[in-house]
Structure formats: structure tokens, C-alpha cells
Amino acid sequence: MVEDEEEDEEDEPIEAEVIDVTPKRCPKCESYDVVRAKKFAVYALFMVAIFGVGVAVDQGAVSFVFIMAAFLAYFVTPPFRCNECGERFD
């Protein structure tokens, strides 16, 4: 009798919330072959390298300007890129 109750509990469906998310599509060619092109770790490594070069040549102010330019470029660049046509988009 106890085994029947355990089997009934196992057969009950699990209630889960279904999240309906449409995949990204390229606005130019309508392809679904889209990847995230921006990787913050790469930009952070680039900024650390710029800082290191600036300190090595005793040009901290110049390296700061280049770091700010790289930081601005990171936020202006669209995050997604289509693998079919190369289009970058939001």
C-alpha cells in the first residue's frame, strides 16, 4: 500500500514555468546564427595592458585617455553579431 502511494507521487507532473523567449535574429538577413560579440574580459585585459604600458613609460595621463576611449568604444559597440552577414546590432 505504501509503495502505491510512492508511485503515485512519482507519476505526478512537475509544474514549471515556461519562459517563451524568441531567439535573436539578424535585422539585415533574418538569420538565427547570431553570437554575442562583446566580451568584457577582453576589454578589461586590454585596458590593464594600456595602463601597464602607461606606467612603464611614465605617461599615466595618456594611458588614462586611451583607457577612457576603449571604455567608450565598449559601450558604443553593438553587442550582437550575425555569423552569416557580419552585421552588428542590439
Side by side, the strands of the sheet bearing 34-36 are: 34-36, 80-82, 88-89
Banded pLDDT at 13 (limits 50, 70, 90): confident
- List pLDDT tens digits, range 15-51: 878 777 788 889 999 899 999 888 889 989 999 999 9
pLDDT of residue 90: 86
Distance separating alpha carbons of residues 54 and 74, to the nearest angstrom: 20
